[in-house]
Amino acid sequence: MTEWLLLVLAAFGAGVLNAIAGGGTFLTFPALVWAGVSPIAANATSALAVCPGYLGSALGFRQELAALPRALLGREMALCAVGGVAGALLLLVTPAKVFAGVVPWLLLFATVLFALGPRLARWAGGGEHGGGLARWRSLGLLAVAVYGGYFNGGLGILLMALYLLAGETRLNTVNALKNLNSFVLSVLSVLAFAIGGAIVWKQALLMAVFATLGGFAGARLAKRLPVAWVRGIVIVTGLVMSVLFFARS
């Protein structure tokens, strides 16, 4: 019962955190590993658990998405679909020992990049309608999608950092794009994981329900929290989980 309660709480918290600023897998992945699931299976199961929460969060930003060009949304969704499948296939052929050793570095990389995001955007000459790195937005999005298909942890953080570097300064718009594209690439990567037999279904389905509920709650909360609070929550969560996984490895 303790393990199931932990998984439920982690899933709900992940849905809230993903809606606010990303990093929800920092909760679901460690919870599954603690419950005895192997790292690769935990990553695949976690990806399915948080996937519906991305949809709930994206629906919470319907107005922001409706204000964006449909051509832009379609192009970025296609890139995320391709990248998500590629990353998932890469995970399925990665030895478990290698993946376990890489996880702490992936978590730390994502956290540091998010923390430096605003400074990097200013350095790049970012502005509301596109910054110095805007022309690399599509290539960067494809790379992040591959990462997200391979390891969902920190996906939202990387997406937010990418959009900040590309010059998007409206936090709600960044959140809307992050949630929509996270959902698209997660759906395709989860499909690949399911075909590959890497998902622990009982835990995944239960966690998916509570992650979705958390996503709805988080989308409303994200519009009310100060920007500094949002960034602080994500950075602290990422650093704590990075330290824990370095200690574990």
Is the pLDDT at 30 greater than 60? The verdict is: yes
CB of 179 closer than 8 Å to CB of 54: yes
The answer for 68, left when phi > 0, alpha when psi is -120 to 50, beta otherwise, is beta
Per domain, the residue ranges of the chain are 2-248
Q: How do residues 200-233 score in pLDDT, each as one tens digit?
A: 999 999 999 998 888 778 777 766 777 677 778 7
What pTM was estimated for this model as a whole? Answer: 0.78
Residue 81 has pLDDT above 90, yes or no: yes
What end-to-end distance do the CA atoms of the chain give, in Å? 27
pLDDT confidence tier of residue 77, bands split at 50, 70 and 90: very high
Note the pLDDT of residue 224. Answer: 76
